[in-house]
Amino acid sequence: MGSEQITLFDLASQAPNTSWSLNTWKTRMLFNYKNLDYKTEWVDYPEIAPRFSVHIPPNDGEGQKPYTLPIVQFPDGTYLMESGKIAKSIERKYPSPNVHLDSPIVHRVDALVDKCMPATHPNLLYKFSQAVLSEKSYDYWVGIYTEKFGMSLDEYERRLGGEKSWVAALPYLTELTSLLKERQAEGPFFLGKDVSYADIIWAGALIFVKRVDENVFQELLDRTGARDVHERFFDACAPWLKRDSY
């Protein structure tokens, strides 16, 4: 029913809009897995703070941008920002199927992905700016990261990308692989046969890389040291990755 529909605010991309952000994918995939009734509204980077500052207080975490996506609006009209907070709220409101938010594996995978993805950024961010970033977001987003790195994004890739980036990511990829292999006899997920929010976090990271550049995605699978394990995992997550554009 429309009155029970949740609105997911997702980051716009080059037309036609399809979801790409690893953070918004955490929320989208959770909704898809729980088969929730939701709709998507696309938002460009410069629109985020002006649009939502009247509805939500800013992030107060150190180093965080004041306003980020995902943001959701619940059927009662309330808004909530940040994928982790959204997941906790969704799990309370819609507890079945359970995604085991309190499992230690969720915190371990989250911490590893938080370190792994920045390590891969030199191989991804310039490509992302060219292949994914929407026209309305381009100057805003590129300006922020050019200032942050003190160089253009293509120079950032030339200086720090390639093997340097993969070497930096390797310890985290290796540990993620080890965790994923621990219960592979039981099933393809981090908890074996049971889906958890840890799977949503890692699948969100993988789909982000794949959306940015297929060649980098394929190399990432190779760099894990167990391509077959991650392919099996990613294939098992496919049903919750299909809905990506509405």
Domains for the chain: give ranges and CATH numbers: 2-93 (3.40.30.10), 104-240 (1.20.1050.10)
**pLDDT tens digit sequence for 91-113:** 999 999 999 999 999 999 999 99
**pLDDT tens digit sequence for 165-187:** 999 999 999 999 999 999 999 99
**pLDDT tens digit sequence for 134-165:** 999 999 999 999 999 999 999 999 999 999 99
Backbone angles phi and psi of 45, in degrees to 5: -50, -50
If we measure between CA atoms, which residue out of 6, 35, 76 comes closest to residue 242?
A: 35
Residue 153: which residues within 8 A CB-CB, separation 6 or more? 125, 126, 129, 142, 145, 146
Calpha distance 157→225 (Å, rounded) = 24
DSSP-derived 3-state class of residue 161: coil
The pLDDT, as a whole number, for residue 60 is 85
